[in-house]
Amino acid sequence: MYWFYDLPTWLSGVLVIGVFLAVGLIGLFPTRNWMRRLHQVGHSHNDIVGFYLAAVTVLYGITLGLLEIGTWTTYTEVEAKVDQEALALGRLYRSVGSYPEPIRSQLQQDLREYAREVIDVGWPQQRRGIVPTGASHLLAKFQNQFLQFEPKTETQKIVHADAYAQFNTLVERRRGRLDSVTLGLPGPLWAMVLIGAFICIAVTWFFDTANPRMHIWMTISLSGLLGLMIFLVAILDNPYRGTISVSPEALERVYDQIMK
Instruction: Give the mean pLDDT of the chain.
Output: 87
Q: What is the pLDDT of residues 200-246, one digit of tens each?
A: 999 888 877 777 788 888 899 999 999 999 999 999 888 888 888 88
pLDDT of residue 1: 60
Q: Print the domain residue range for 94.
A: 2-259
Question: Is the whole-model pTM more than 0.85?
Answer: no
% of the chain at pLDDT higher than 70:
95
Which ranges of 128-153 does DSSP label H, i.e. alpha helix? 136-148
Q: Given a cut of 60, is residue 170 above it in pLDDT?
A: yes
Query: What own/partner pairs with CB < 8 Å and gap ≥ 24 does 145-153 have?
Result: 145/103, 145/106, 145/107, 145/110, 146/96, 146/107, 148/103, 149/99, 149/103
> How many domains does the chain divide into?
1
Name the band, by pLDDT with cuts 50, 70 and 90, for residue 154: confident
pLDDT of residue 40: 64
